[in-house]
Structure 1
Amino acid sequence: MLILFLFSWTICSAQEVVVYTSVDKIFSEPILQHFEKETGIKVAALYDVEASKTVGLVNRLIAEKNRPKADVFWNSEVTRTIQLKKEGVLTPYKSVHWDAFPKIFKDSQYYWTGFAARARVLIYNTNLLSDKNVPDSIFEFTQPAWRGKVTMAYPLFGTTNMHVAALYSLIGPEKTEDYLRGLAANETLIVNGNSVTRDLVVEGKIPIGFTDTDDANVAVMKGKPVKIIYPDKKGIGTLLIPNTAALIKDGPNPQNGKQLIDYLLSRETESRLAFGESAQMPLRSGVKKPAHMPDYSEIKAMEVDYMEVAAYIKQTSRFCQDVLAP
C-alpha cells in the first residue's frame, strides 16, 4: 500500500508545476491555461495580491527558501527578481530561447530572462492638451508651465519606484534628487497607483501623468480622449520593464519548471501578451504584435543596468518617502 501511494504521488507530482506570479491574474491565467492544454502539465498558480504588489510574493519565496514550494517565479518586473537572486532563492537556467533576447534584458549568469515589457509612459488628455503642446521629456515637468498639471503614483512601490531607481542609476543620485524636489515644488499630484493617474487624466481632472503602457492601453482601447507618449526619445530614453521568468532553487518539479519557463519565453506567449489588454511589448524580433505597437528599438529604450537599478531601490524609497509623500 505504501509503495502504491508513493508511486501515485510521484506520478501526480511529475504532472504539476507550481508558479508564483505577480502578473495580474486576468493576464497571466490565460497563458498558464494554454500551457496546461498544450503540455498536459497541471499548473498550480499563486497570484499576487494587489495591495502587496510584488513584495508579498518575494517575501514568501524568501521565507520558503529552505523548503521551496514553487518551481517558477513569473514576475511582472525585474528588480525584485534580482533581489531573489541575491538571497539565493533562484537557480540558473539557460532556456532554449535565451539567445533570442537582447543582452540588456537577461541575467548573464542565467538566473532570469526578461520578456514582454511594459514601458513607463506619459498619458495625456487630448481635450486639455494639443499634440504640439505635449512635452518631449519628463524633465520638462519641473518648469513653471507644468505647475499643478502633472500626476504620478507614489514612488515608494511598484514601477514608479523602479522608474526613479533607474534615474538614480542613469543620471546619478544628485541630479535625480534635484529633479524629484523640482517635481514636488511644482505641485505634482502624488496618488495611489498608476491606474489612478490614468483615471485622473481620462476624466480631465489633470492634463498629463506618468503611468505604464498596460494601464494606458486600457483607456486607449475604450476610446477615451487620451494618447500615449514614449518620452525622451532624444534624451535618456523610455524605461522598459520586462517580465522575468526564473527557476526556483530546489523547487519540487524542476523539469516541469524549465518547461514552463521555455513556454513563457516563446514567440507565442510574447505575441499573446502583445495582443492582450495589457499590451506588453515583445523583446525578441519577429514576434507578431498589434500594428500600433512600436518595436522596443523604435522608442529608444533607456540603457540601464537592471542590477544597478535594483541596488538603488532602498535609497530611492527613503528619499521619496521624505520628499514626495502624498
Structure 2
Amino acid sequence: MKRKQKTILFMAAIVFLLIPAVAISASSGQVVVYTALDQIFSEPILKRFEKESGIAVKAVYDIEATKTTGLVNRLIAEKKNPQCDVFWNNEIIRSIILKRKGVLTPYHSPSAEDIPGQFKDKEGYWTGFAARARVLVVNTSALTAKEQPSSILQLTNPEWKGKVAIANPLFGTTATHVAALFSLWGQEKAKGYFMELKANRIKIVDGNSVVKDQVGSGEIVAGFTDTDDVNTGVLAGLPIKAIYPDKDGLGTLLIPNTVGLVANCPHPAKARKLMDYLLSRDVEKDLAYCPSAQMPVREQVETPANFVSVDQVKTMPVDFEKMADEMEVSVKFVQQLFIR
C-alpha cells in the first residue's frame, strides 16, 4: 500500500503533463475551463452553457486519485503562458493557494451578489457556490442506529480498529478536511488525532468514491467521505447513509465549489460569461437536483424534497484563509505519517 500511495503522489506532481494539451489560439471562439468537479456532474452544466450562450467550451477534467492537486499543478506550471481561462474547483483551499501564487485575477461577478460573504474572497479572486459536506458514511446493514458513530472522535476508539477508511489525505477534500482540523484544533491536537487513527489501523484508499464503495460492500463499516459520494451510492442501492458528525460539538465541514478567473487568460470576456453562468442560482439548483446533491450556499434556491440544506447543518466554524495557511504543514505531516 505504501508503494502504491507513493506512486499516486508522484502522479500528482506530473499529472498536468499527462492531461492532453489544450489547443487554443487568441482568436478562438471557445473558453477553456479546468474543472475538478466530477465530469459526470460538471459536463451537463457546461453543455447547457454552450447551448444558451453560443460559446464553445473546452473542458479539462481531473482524475479521481489526485483530484484537484493535478489541475492546480498544471495551472502553476502554465502561469507564464496560461492555457486556461476559468478554474472550476470542487473545493476551496487550493483556490486560495492559486490566488497567493498569482495564478488567479479578481472578478466580482454580478451573479454572486447574493452569495454570503463567508463564501467569497473579499478581493474577488474566488467565489464559492454549491457546497458539499464532509460526512461519515456507514453501512446500515452492518451497524444498527445505536452502533453508528456520531462523532469523528469516536473512530479512534478500539471498537473501530481496522473498520474505517479515509481517502488519500494528500488530495482533494480529504486534504482540505485535514487542514481544517489543523486550523481549528491547532497542530498538536490535530497531529495527535491522526496518530490515533493510524494506531487504530485506519485504511487509506484512492478516493472518496472508493471509501463509499468499500463501506457499501461491507469490506469496512464506516469511513470519511463527501455527501455527493454517499448520495450516488444510495441511488445505486448500496446499504449506506451519511452521518453529519459532531452536531453537539465540532460540527460538520462544508466545502463549496469555487470558481476563479485565470490571470492573463486567453479569452477573458468569454471567461467572465462562463463564471456568471456558473455562479447563477440556476446552476446551484441544477447541482442540488443532480445525483451529487450539492447544497446551495444562498437561501431560497429550489431543492428536492427532503433535501439537507446548509441551514440544517451544524457547520464547523472554520476560517478558509487560516486553513490555507495550514495546508503545507498538514499535508507534510499526513504524508510522513501514512505514506512514507
* TM superposition score normalised by structure 1: 0.92
The answer to whether structure 1 residue 180 and structure 2 residue 206 are counterparts is: no
CA displacement, residues 15-52 of structure 1 (integer Å, 9 cap, x when unaligned): 42221111222111110110011111111222223344
Displacement, 1:67? 2.2
Aligned to 1:304: 318
**Match runs of 1:88-127 below 5 Å:** 88-127=102-141
Structure 2: distance between partners of 1:252 and 1:154: 34
The answer to whether structure 1 residue 41 and structure 2 residue 55 are counterparts is: yes
Checking the alignment, whether the CA contact within 8 Å between 1:198 and 1:209 is kept in structure 2 is: yes
CA displacement, residues 147-166 of structure 1 (integer Å, 9 cap, x when unaligned): 22222122122211110110
Structure 1: distance between partners of 2:161 and 2:77: 45
- Which range moved further: 148-157 or 89-98? 148-157
Checking the alignment, whether the CA contact within 8 Å between 2:119 and 2:128 is kept in structure 1 is: yes
Displacement, 1:75? 0.8
Letter in 2 for 1:238: T
Structure 2: distance between partners of 1:270 and 1:302: 22
**Which structure's CA Rg is the greater one?**
1
Checking the alignment, whether the CA contact within 8 Å between 1:195 and 1:215 is kept in structure 2 is: yes
Say which of 306, 311, 316 aligns to 1:292. Answer: 306
Alignment: residue pair count: 316
Aligned to 2:73: 59
Displacement, 1:323? 2.1
The answer to whether structure 1 residue 143 and structure 2 residue 153 are counterparts is: no
- Which range moved further: 176-185 or 43-52? 43-52
Runs of 4+ in 1 over 6 A off after TM superposition: none
Structure 1: distance between partners of 2:160 and 2:92: 31
Displacement, 1:58? 1.4
Displacement, 1:282? 1.0
The answer to whether structure 1 residue 79 and structure 2 residue 93 are counterparts is: yes
Say which of 267, 278, 303 aligns to 2:292. Answer: 278
Displacement, 1:132? 2.2
Checking the alignment, whether the CA contact within 8 Å between 1:115 and 1:242 is kept in structure 2 is: yes
- Which range moved further: 54-63 or 174-183? 54-63
Displacement, 1:192? 2.1
The answer to whether structure 1 residue 152 and structure 2 residue 166 are counterparts is: yes
Checking the alignment, whether the CA contact within 8 Å between 2:66 and 2:172 is kept in structure 1 is: no
CA root-mean-square deviation: 1.6
Displacement, 1:262? 0.8
Aligned to 1:210: 224
Displacement, 1:98? 2.3
Checking the alignment, whether the CA contact within 8 Å between 2:112 and 2:280 is kept in structure 1 is: no
Checking the alignment, whether the CA contact within 8 Å between 1:190 and 1:325 is kept in structure 2 is: no
Aligned to 2:261: 247
- Which range moved further: 213-222 or 94-103? 94-103
SS in 1 for 2:110: coil
Aligned to 1:192: 206
Structure 1: distance between partners of 2:197 and 2:298: 35
Change in 2 beyond 3 A, CA 1:49/1:200: closer
Checking the alignment, whether the CA contact within 8 Å between 2:169 and 2:331 is kept in structure 1 is: yes
Change in 2 beyond 3 A, CA 1:164/1:51: closer
Checking the alignment, whether the CA contact within 8 Å between 1:153 and 1:210 is kept in structure 2 is: yes
CA displacement, residues 220-254 of structure 1 (integer Å, 9 cap, x when unaligned): 11222111101111111111111111011121221
CA displacement, residues 185-216 of structure 1 (integer Å, 9 cap, x when unaligned): 12222222212211111011221111111111
Say which of 38, 44, 47 aligns to 1:30. Answer: 44
Structure 1: distance between partners of 2:83 and 2:211: 36
SS in 2 for 1:323: helix
Structure 2: distance between partners of 1:188 and 1:45: 36
Letter in 2 for 1:57: L
Displacement, 1:259? 1.0
Letter in 2 for 1:75: N
Change in 2 beyond 3 A, CA 1:206/1:52: closer
* TM superposition score normalised by structure 2: 0.89
SS in 1 for 2:249: coil
SS in 2 for 1:148: coil
**Where does the alignment leave 5 or more consecutive residues of structure 1 unmatched?**
1-8
Checking the alignment, whether the CA contact within 8 Å between 1:148 and 1:187 is kept in structure 2 is: yes
Structure 1: distance between partners of 2:331 and 2:68: 15
